[in-house]
Chain A
Amino acid sequence: MISILTAHWSELVEGMKYTIGSSLIALIGSLILGIIFAMFVISPNRWLRIIGSVYVEIFRNIPLLVVAMFFYIVMPRFVPGLDGFKAGTIGLTIYTSAFIAETFRAGIESVAVGQMEAARSNGMTYLQAMKYIILPQATKIVIPPLGNQFVNLVKNSSVLAFLAGFDLMYQGNLIASTTFKTTDTYLAVGLLYLVMTMPLSYLMRYLEKRWSRLPTV
């Protein structure tokens, strides 16, 4: 395994760059989309609620590989220049955002109704109440499940390997097929995924501890 790591270090690092790049973009994108769709799902507006629920249910219940393939195979017909990396990252973003929307919806709903009523009675608009009172409290509640989502996201980015996305898994496949040292290669790849996800897990646990010192309700 060590020999694989040393002999193919540059390819593996190259793959990690793509994995981290795709994960970072998908992390930010899915967080933004997730919060927006969570707001849709709980919106007082019926049409936004329907749009939000349909989005969440569709992308939560289709396998990631199918979502990613859709963007890889179908979308380039309409959007030129959509390579495997881009298509995979978009698929990953959208797929993850559905789960994040669910996480935020649950978090927002667990903030007591009285907080919203108080803010509205204080003259705030719905959006002001969300921004200053509800979302800050919901964010604290969703930190632990969100941490899990992010670790999953890094692991799920291996879907890029199926779309020629140049990520770590893709490089691993290449190395395995040229050297025939499959066991060693995938052990090395697994180790490198651990190197990426373990710090993220610890970071999340640290944030969770820090934030738990703030009050909930």
Chain B
Amino acid sequence: MSMIEFHDVNKYYGKFKALKNINLTIERGEVVTIIGPSGSGKSTLLRTINGLELISSGQLLVDNHDLADPKTDMNRIRKNVGMVFQHFNLYANKTILQNITLGPEKVLKVPHVKAAEDAERLLGLVGLLDQAHKLPSMLSGGQKQRIAIARALAMHPKAILFDEPTSALDPEVIGDVLDVMKKVAEQGMTMIVVTHEMGFAKEVGNRLLFMADGEIREDSNDPREFFRAPQDERAQEFLGKILHVD
């Protein structure tokens, strides 16, 4: 039973086709990174998985539930699939601890004491135990993103989606966030990560998708090999560009 299955999925924004004939199966425990030029549909693909965007045609199965089926409870899917955003989106009106406990308490109905215990464990995991009672506005970007990961983990999801989790961060704190993501990967979490961090894609990812123009142009089970010798022409061009910039 696969975690996520796309069958001939298309997605339109008005007349614009943002996803073209996507066929993709992701198994439990896979760490999939998605790279590709701006506007290639990476975020759109990710956001269809937890229903923040709806697909226009085809079939999308998440944890064996058909997202196009009106009987599917989207809230139940979202309980099982966490998401980490580029701009963190921590709840501005809640403390760090409450950011982590709110979902478990209100959605999973975990008693407050137990949710707080679990939150403390997670704060320890992301190395921010001392920040529990601050408001998000008092934290740095890198700290906020680690809290956002803890918030996602607190729901004990079956998969976590990351949309450019380090793109809004200062270079010196990117490593802290990537370290946390690596720990999460090592615990066997299914992860789908849109990123520009080629190091993470190579070292932590065990599968890599290259997207261009709404299509998956290359799907590699050996990210190192992909970076050494990309097959797709657009991928070669893309890697050529970013390697020059670096």
Give the interface size class of chain B: 20 to 34
Could you tell me if A133 and B79 are in contact, using CB atoms closer than 8 angstroms? no
A215-B136 contact given A117-B52, A123-B79, CB 8 Å threshold: yes
Could you tell me if B135 and A133 are in contact, using CB atoms closer than 8 angstroms? no
Chain B residues, Cβ within 8 Å of A122? 78, 82, 102-103, 107, 151-152, 155
**In-complex Cβ contact of A216 among B91, B92, B108, B155 (8 A):** B92
A110 located at the interface, meaning its Cβ lies under 8 Å from any Cβ of chain B in the complex: no
Could you tell me if A215 and B52 are in contact, using CB atoms closer than 8 angstroms? no
Could you tell me if B155 and A123 are in contact, using CB atoms closer than 8 angstroms? yes
The docked-state distance in angstroms from the alpha carbon of A120 to that of B152 is 12
A128 located at the interface, meaning its Cβ lies under 8 Å from any Cβ of chain B in the complex: yes
**In-complex Cβ contact of A120 among B52, B91, B137 (8 A):** B52
A132-B102 contact given A115-B92, A117-B89, A215-B137, CB 8 Å threshold: yes
- Find the residue from B91, B94, B102 having the highest chain A CB count within 10 A: B91
What 1/0 mask marks residues of chain A from 54 to 75 whose CB sits below 8 Å from any chain B CB? 0000000000000000000000
Could you tell me if A133 and B85 are in contact, using CB atoms closer than 8 angstroms? no
A119 located at the interface, meaning its Cβ lies under 8 Å from any Cβ of chain B in the complex: yes
Could you tell me if A214 and B93 are in contact, using CB atoms closer than 8 angstroms? yes
The docked-state distance in angstroms from the alpha carbon of A215 to that of B75 is 28
Residue of A nearest to B86 (CB): A114
**In-complex Cβ contact of B91 among A125, A133, A140, A214 (8 A):** A133
Residue of B nearest to A215 (CB): B137
The docked-state distance in angstroms from the alpha carbon of A83 to that of B149 is 60
Chain B residues, Cβ within 8 Å of A115? 89, 91-92
Chain B residues, Cβ within 8 Å of A133? 91, 93-94
Could you tell me if A114 and B52 are in contact, using CB atoms closer than 8 angstroms? no
What 1/0 mask marks residues of chain B from 46 to 58 whose CB sits below 8 Å from any chain A CB? 0000101000000
Chain B residues, Cβ within 8 Å of A140? 93
The docked-state distance in angstroms from the alpha carbon of A120 to that of B85 is 13
Could you tell me if B93 and A121 are in contact, using CB atoms closer than 8 angstroms? no
**In-complex Cβ contact of B87 among A114, A123, A137, A214 (8 A):** A114
B83 located at the interface, meaning its Cβ lies under 8 Å from any Cβ of chain A in the complex: yes
The docked-state distance in angstroms from the alpha carbon of A136 to that of B93 is 7
- Find the residue from B106, B135, B148 having the highest chain A CB count within 10 A: B106
What 1/0 mask marks residues of chain B from 73 to 85 whose CB sits below 8 Å from any chain A CB? 0010011011101
Give me the interface of B with A, judged by CB distance under 8 Å. 50, 52, 75, 78-79, 81-83, 85, 87, 89-94, 102-103, 106-108, 135-137, 148, 151-152, 155
Q: Can you sample 11 A-B contacts with CB below 8 Å? A: A114-B89, A115-B92, A117-B52, A117-B83, A118-B83, A118-B90, A120-B52, A123-B103, A124-B106, A125-B75, A132-B94
